[in-house]
Amino acid sequence: MSFKRSRRRDPRAAGAAPDSLIRTENGLQYWSGIDADVNGMLGGFLGISAVDLRGSRAFLVKLGIGKSKRKVERALEGGAGIGRITQGLLLDISQTVDVVEPIAKFTQSLTKTPGAYDLIWLQWCLGHLTDTQLVAFLRRCCQALVASASPSAVIVVKENNTTTDADLFDDLDSSVTRTDDKFRALFREAGLRLVRTELQNGLPNGLYPVRMYALKV
């Protein structure tokens, strides 16, 4: 997932939970055919990368991370793609950054090391998980935060929100765009508490709203 224009609801979703239509193999097939560059990662919205990174950096500053604030020891980016956020943001505010990415060609230039995390950054990847999978994944992230032993450890989720009161399935990349209310409910189910949230500013008209959530155990 990346920046997306608002789309009509998939007719197959009528009477079915949109996340039940997610097929992992279809999502992997879609992303395997995408160019391993910034243009590919952002779905053609190349000029918005700087806006996105600026908004993310400002959000972290409000959480006391980065700029003249403290830096974290270890961060993780889930669904890292080619490392656009790792290289454009996380390496500036963390001593070490690990990445998780299922498409191998996207991370050939990045290295990987294990560990517990003070910051977990999840952007435009959670739509490929069903509600059940997302809750299970967030619970694992909770364990990684607890293992870091830092009281300021935080998970940041940055995802598209629908402009309706229902989740929407996108058959192009086999993903779901969730409502703000749905995200908040799933966070609670995973045992996380919301400490800050705000919308990304500066996006062109016609795109789904992009919301950032700061979460703690």
Full set of structural domains in the chain with CATH:
15-216 (3.40.50.150)
At residue 164 the predicted structure's pLDDT band, cuts being 50, 70 and 90, is: very high
CA dihedral 27, 30, 34, 40 (to 10 degrees): -60
Over range 54-78, report the average pLDDT. Answer: 92
Give the tokens for residue 206. Answer: 């016609």
Is the confidence at residue 110, as pLDDT, over 70? no
Give the tokens for residue 32. Answer: 């395997």
Listed in sequence order, the residues at least 6 apart from 31 whose beta carbon sits closer than 8 Å to its beta carbon are: 102, 103, 106, 173
Give the global pTM.
Answer: 0.87
Is the confidence at residue 99, as pLDDT, over 50? yes
Share of the chain above pLDDT 90, in %: 63
Give pLDDT, residue 44: 61
Write the pLDDT tens digit of every residue in 113-130.
466 899 999 999 999 999
Is the confidence at residue 11, as pLDDT, over 50? no
Residue 161's nearest CA partner among 194, 131, 184 is: 184
Write the pLDDT tens digit of every residue in 73-90.
999 999 888 889 999 999
Residue 209's nearest CA partner among 171, 172, 174, 183 is: 183
Give pLDDT, residue 210: 97
Mean residue pLDDT of the chain comes to: 86
Over range 4-26, report the average pLDDT. Answer: 72
**CA dist., res. 104 & res. 24, Å (int):** 15
Give the tokens for residue 187. Answer: 């966070």
**Dihedral of CA 95/84/24/34: which sign?**
negative
Neighbours of 90 (CB within 10 A): 24
